[in-house]
Amino acid sequence: MRFMFNHSFCRTPYGDRQPTEPVQWMLRTAPPVATSGSATTRCKGVWTRRRVARAAALLGIATTASAASGGGMVPAGSTTLEKHGQSPFAACARPDIAALIRDKYADLGGWPSRDKLPVVYNERYNIGFFGLERLHPFDSKKFQRVLALLEQAGVLHRGQLVTAAEAGHDALREVHTEQYLRQLNGSPLKVAQVTELAPLMLLPPPLLRYKVLRPMATMAGGSMLGAALAMERGWAINLGGGMHHASYNDGGGWCPYSDITLALRRLRATSGGALRRVLVVDLDVHQGNGMERDKLAAGDQDLYILDAYNRRAYPWDAEAKQAIDQRVELEPGTRDEEYLAGVAGALGRAFADFSPELLIYNAGTDILDGDPLGRLCVSEAGVVERDRLVWAAAAQHRVPILMLLSGGYTRASTPVIAHSIQALFEHFELADEPMASNARS
């Protein structure tokens, strides 16, 4: 099990000062965090509008400080986000790829109709087994709570969602070894190790498969289908997934299946290689060592990884770090200013170095102030701005994006996730999908 930290020292990210302008005002070009192995430095100096303009310029993004809209990043060439009846992500869609892959996801529920939003979910994501799940700090039922908050806010409703299907054995074998899958399915000890819940070793394998492994395989199936839907719509969100500690032959950190690798490999295979180049932006607070080990094992030159993580937190996997192309190493206590600067700088460098055909965004909220495992001090506004920054970069570069929820170990992360998704819907007009806004089942 991981340590539980009390970091009330950063309960108020701004101390006695509250921001009088949107969070993006505080971005700067030179990130005060370690990148690509450089030494960590702390934030110093004055934050100026000129610096945020230069930071945003790295991404080709214009800024706006409209108090009415909450501020934020908008695609360059826009002023504010006036309603124009179509999401800017319509220009990111790849109908040529979608036409190639449409009939190759039957094992994952098949291709949904256009009256659905590209938001993937299944009630089975929510894991419960006699209350034992409460022994782990991860809220294994946060997915249904996020959806409930989105419905309450009128952002979307269940009739608009695409239902995820379980990734079966053959689908999982597209990445995972037979030996590892046999261990998971037959060894309660292995499941206990992967989930970090020792009591699970006392439960029989059939029960563990039904209550733990199959729900997580359903999340993996949701990520696989979500990547495909992003090709047709320009964007997709899986209300789960992001199991970035799992690799082809092992798991850990509550991650049995490498859904990111599964998603990109299925997409490459079904497109016949027409899509190859994938950028993974992993902003969960923990290093994504599983997918990084997948990259190293495959020698994948068409996968570019940007990983920003607390350098003093799990999993401390030095070998896996060799796979990271843009590394942002953060110290405990990092606040909005430093964090957003590091992300902005790394995104700018990533798009300068690499021209992706798909962006998979692992949007963990364990960076949130108060998270016992993340130990950073990023505010809710900082999380919302971070997500908008990544989506704006994808829109500007006309790259389809798939967002995964990943980690978050405080109850406060659930409303933050919902708030951020609501902000994305409003900022990028995601609800203006053709035929989707009035669909109900």
Which residues form the catalytic set? 245
Residues in the chain, total: 441
CA separation, residue 390 to residues 61, 73, 184, 293, 424 (Å): 11, 9, 34, 24, 11
Give the burial class of 82: count Cβ atoms within 10 A of its Cβ; 0-12 exposed, 13-18 middle, 19 or more buried: exposed
Say how far apart CA 181 and CA 175 lie, in whole Å: 10
Q: CA torsion 73→78→81→87, rounded to 10°?
A: -100
Residue 164: CB atoms within 10 Å: 28
Question: Which amino acid type is present at position 51?
Answer: R
Angle between helices 259-270 and 289-298 (to 10 degrees): 40
DSSP designation for 124:
G
Say how far apart CA 120 and CA 265 lie, in whole Å: 19
63 forms beta bridges with: 73
Say how far apart CA 229 and CA 111 lie, in whole Å: 8
Say how far apart CA 122 and CA 143 lie, in whole Å: 9
Token pair of 14, please? 């701004």
DSSP string, 146-179: HHHHHHHTTS--GGGSEEP----HHHHTTTS-HH
